[in-house]
Structure 1
């Protein structure tokens, strides 16, 4: 039985916690006494507690994040009720950055900041002198040059079935007030040779789905070149994900990005706002000329799948200016555009705008903004529905051709907002809308509200849906379409079989 259990509740099974593995890798002589066990937020808390306590650990370390903090708080209470002698230690972004807005009082210890050094020292102290450690362990910045890399602790199951998270650096030089990364303004780099050796080891073990969690991957040109060259020397298929700043792509980086084959590269491009005054207010750098130039390059000269972020609710950003930003982005790229809602994270400085802009946030995770001086609560609710439907239709790619029909004779935001309002009025839901039902609703809106010819609409929807094998067209689409139907898609059964069900939203 392990003395130390490291655990967390991941948002999905496919996410493998790099944080737990880094803690385990740096436990030194205590490593042999420790074990990782992971869960998801879909697991029942009593089942989680049962599995943890069955190992009879003395110390239980739990990673706390914005998506699991409510459940971790309850799990901690359950564990302490059942096993008061167990020592529960919380760490991670949501525990490590006060003020705490979820009650974590049941925990014995809370580690602030990066945990590798602090957790190891705490475990040693608890072994030698139980009860002698402080409850709140202040931040101790690990020496990145001496940290042991965690990648050997990804199992064969992880490599075959999960996204593997890696980091070549920590920290961010930018000071965006809504982001936790702005706390650590000094970028610290792992030794590039050691890092690449670890990547090679992962590759040899079969790793092909790798996501870098560096906040500003493309800042150090020499290091970026070496990492890009590592992947360019490999044979596809593989998928590597980087988070990049949009205004810094020197020629050597561009040359390499252009060489990646289709399906092998995903770039998350942090935009957040295109409004200069809003960017300046939150201390975010914004070079519109460079941004547009680089997006044009990424769109037209690379095969990268682009994921761009926009945030609604930023201080000074109206819905009208947000709409202009969205309209601009859709002219610059056909990539995925994630529409997010501002969150008030503990440890950030976004709260300095609360009084001036009447910022009102939910007291519960994920602490999303509810209203401000420019966007009232009903309008914010409407936007959240807009963002949900945008994901289902635009970002999913399921109706990429048909979505353009929504935008005929109007701009992107206005056209989609009209459909979003109509869709909610007719469904009173943003969830549990199947793909076939969405196709029917889209047909009715385009024909009845936009007065488009039924055959043209049905042809567009049928072409979109039949790009993926196994999808069944709704009767109304089959009735009006002139697109040849694939016989293997149409089944007489009134209910979709397993093959069709996996395509439902």
Structure 2
């Protein structure tokens, strides 16, 4: 938690911002952010730093922050609720503000309601990307726990709101970018909700027009170069620009005033500061990071420089890029990045490969151009790439989404992700919902139930299909390539195989495999289909396509066994090893196989069909370990090891004391993560 201190806060029992004689009073403000993967909140830092540019705010407002991961279980929600309520009580806040996103708004609403029930005098303020479009009036009409919403980009609006709360001016109605419940005949008479959930007569919803946005982003004091204490080993969100040049109908990035960039000198200094703190995770949250290819290459070059000379250790890094904008120079920079840092994920939002959907979502798609752009990526870069697909888009039915999935499969990326369309508040699809007969949830996650192209039943089937596509491709991709390479499957497409699996297993069995936990980079959406898939392969698919050769079946069984163990480690990690006598501790599982599985898998990356007969018979020793990232993210890793090393690891596992072995050998095994 980062705290900014000013002067003594005003008394919590006071309702008015100033004394009766008009003298200025102090204000104590608590800001809360629940991120998905970050330890810190860039949004809150920017709000505070910009607000404090105003001398009156700097002198009379004290800020405190609470930033945490969004609780993901009922027990975690309960613990977090009491933790924050105790924090609010301890600090005696006059104002509590929340940074609201689609992934945290349900819990934020619950927390805000509790605050209003306990302390009705506290002014509750909402801001963030969720506070747009249809959801803003809904906050007041349904939740009845929020006093003021800051709509769209918030720095200027929030600064002016704080001035109003301290000295009464400017008037609320003269601060663009606000929404609140006000007297029908006086837009400056704010109604503060009292925790009873009652909407009083004589008051109504009011908006003050479009927010004023910051033209020069350098006017926002840097949160990384100021007095904030950055966490060592923490996770960071970083933006090098705001806005997006595109106006995709499902997105809100293009709704702001074009693209604004932070000066490159500032970006370099800020990233250098972050890297000096040995981050565990960095996510660039630019709308289109590689909109300007040369600038993107320069920014990524900063990371490469630090990784190349060892100033920073490899860290989890997420980049969301537009594939068609990658040229050869940027591809070379990216290739070096993934070679220096194996924890890099490059994500491409293809969304749909069909023309009607592409046209309706205002995201042009040309298959030949997309394939040509993919071909510019090196094999190493392709093997680190994730392709996103959306089902439920206007223009796409079941057949069209299968076309999208098959196109993505034909590129052989590292992973495929399938998401059901959410109608984001403020997006073009929100405004076009009636035109496309889109029925969607008004409550978060705002997921689509049906469209003019998809019935409710078809949407339910596609959700099962999408789960299966992502999980099976990620964790049984090599087996699937081998199955599609069999003579009896010559006319079968990837989507056909997954369709058969889903129809054989049934929706209940697929959806019931949900893992009771959260592993963001483990099982996709934390599901585990390995046992079902193995049964389907041997009991249903192989007999139907007349694949009965004993050696072939044995090789497939061993391959599935290997992939299943890797998937289990991604979810559960490794079992704890007993530590004794201060010696090295095993941090791996051992697998002995009749086949050289690691070499076979590596040799066939980037292919869509593989001949299982090429799997070479060779007694092979494999060590399976896991690299831990931020928030228990687990990345499974396997090594082909010698028989001597396997025996050493076996003895370490079975004996209380380490066997006699050279320090050099121990250090090498520690370096690769097999010993701790």
Match of 1:60 in 2: 96
Where do residues 251-400 of structure 1 align in structure 2 (5 Å cutoff)? 251-262=328-339, 263=342, 265-298=344-377, 300=379, 302=381, 305-395=384-474, 398-400=475-477
Deviation at 1:259, TM superposition (A): 2.4
1:244 to 305, 316, 321: 321
Q: Deviations over 1:400-453 (max 9, x none)?
A: 323335645221112112213333454661413899974332221111111255
Q: Deviations over 1:96-124 (max 9, x none)?
A: 44443443432111101111121122112
Q: Does residue 9 of structure 1 match 2:44?
A: no
Match of 1:148 in 2: 221
Q: Secondary structure at the match of 1:54?
A: helix
- Mapped to 1, the partners of 2:163 and 2:330 lie a distance apart of 45
Q: Does residue 76 of structure 1 match 2:153?
A: no
- Mapped to 2, the partners of 1:368 and 1:154 lie a distance apart of 41
Match of 2:560 in 1: 461
- Mapped to 2, the partners of 1:415 and 1:25 lie a distance apart of 54
- Mapped to 2, the partners of 1:7 and 1:267 lie a distance apart of 30
Match of 1:19 in 2: 43
- Mapped to 1, the partners of 2:132 and 2:431 lie a distance apart of 20
Query: Larger C-alpha radius of gyration, 1 or 2?
Result: 2
- Mapped to 1, the partners of 2:432 and 2:473 lie a distance apart of 32
Any conservation in 1 of the 2:160–2:170 contact (CA below 8 Å)? no
Where do residues 1-150 of structure 1 align in structure 2 (5 Å cutoff)? 3-11=28-36, 14=38, 16-28=40-52, 29=55, 30=57, 33-39=62-68, 40-42=70-72, 43-44=77-78, 45-100=81-136, 101-102=138-139, 103-129=142-168, 133-134=172-173, 135=180, 136=207, 138=209, 139-143=211-215, 144-150=217-223
Q: Secondary structure at the match of 1:21?
A: helix
- Mapped to 1, the partners of 2:244 and 2:347 lie a distance apart of 16
Q: RMSD of the alignment, in Å?
A: 3.3
Any conservation in 2 of the 1:405–1:446 contact (CA below 8 Å)? no
- Mapped to 2, the partners of 1:156 and 1:458 lie a distance apart of 52
- Mapped to 1, the partners of 2:100 and 2:319 lie a distance apart of 24
Q: Deviations over 1:9-52 (max 9, x none)?
A: 3345x554221222122231546711110242342234432332
Any conservation in 2 of the 1:180–1:347 contact (CA below 8 Å)? yes
2:532 to 425, 438, 441: 441
- Mapped to 1, the partners of 2:429 and 2:240 lie a distance apart of 27
- Mapped to 1, the partners of 2:385 and 2:229 lie a distance apart of 29
- The normalised TM-score by structure 1 is 0.85
- Mapped to 1, the partners of 2:278 and 2:530 lie a distance apart of 39
Deviation at 1:63, TM superposition (A): 0.8
Deviation at 1:352, TM superposition (A): 4.8
Larger deviation: 295-304 or 48-57? 295-304
Q: Secondary structure at the match of 1:380?
A: helix
Any conservation in 2 of the 1:126–1:133 contact (CA below 8 Å)? no
Any conservation in 2 of the 1:237–1:264 contact (CA below 8 Å)? yes
Match of 1:499 in 2: none
Larger deviation: 299-308 or 51-60? 299-308
Q: Deviations over 1:335-378 (max 9, x none)?
A: 21111111111111114543443221123211111112222111
Match of 2:629 in 1: none
Deviation at 1:227, TM superposition (A): 0.6
Any conservation in 1 of the 2:338–2:380 contact (CA below 8 Å)? no
Aligned in 2, Cα 1:199/1:11: closer, same or farther, shift over 3 Å?
A: closer
Aligned in 2, Cα 1:110/1:227: closer, same or farther, shift over 3 Å?
A: same
Where do residues 419-430 of structure 1 align in structure 2 (5 Å cutoff)? 419-423=501-505, 424-426=507-509, 429-430=512-513
Match of 1:179 in 2: 251
Any conservation in 2 of the 1:118–1:137 contact (CA below 8 Å)? no
Q: Deviations over 1:103-151 (max 9, x none)?
A: 3432111101111121122112201129953535641202323111223
Match of 2:613 in 1: none
List gaps (5 residues or longer) in structure 1. Answer: 473-480, 490-501
Any conservation in 2 of the 1:60–1:86 contact (CA below 8 Å)? yes
Any conservation in 2 of the 1:389–1:420 contact (CA below 8 Å)? yes
Match of 1:475 in 2: none
- Mapped to 1, the partners of 2:278 and 2:361 lie a distance apart of 42
Any conservation in 2 of the 1:266–1:307 contact (CA below 8 Å)? yes
Q: Secondary structure at the match of 1:420?
A: helix
Any conservation in 2 of the 1:60–1:88 contact (CA below 8 Å)? yes
List gaps (5 residues or longer) in structure 2. Answer: 1-7, 10-27, 174-179, 181-206, 308-312, 518-522, 576-592, 596-618, 625-633, 637-676
Match of 1:432 in 2: 515
Match of 1:495 in 2: none
- Mapped to 1, the partners of 2:377 and 2:237 lie a distance apart of 24
- Mapped to 2, the partners of 1:153 and 1:240 lie a distance apart of 24
Match of 2:297 in 1: 225
- Mapped to 1, the partners of 2:467 and 2:401 lie a distance apart of 16
- Mapped to 2, the partners of 1:300 and 1:503 lie a distance apart of 20
Q: Does residue 214 of structure 1 match 2:279?
A: no
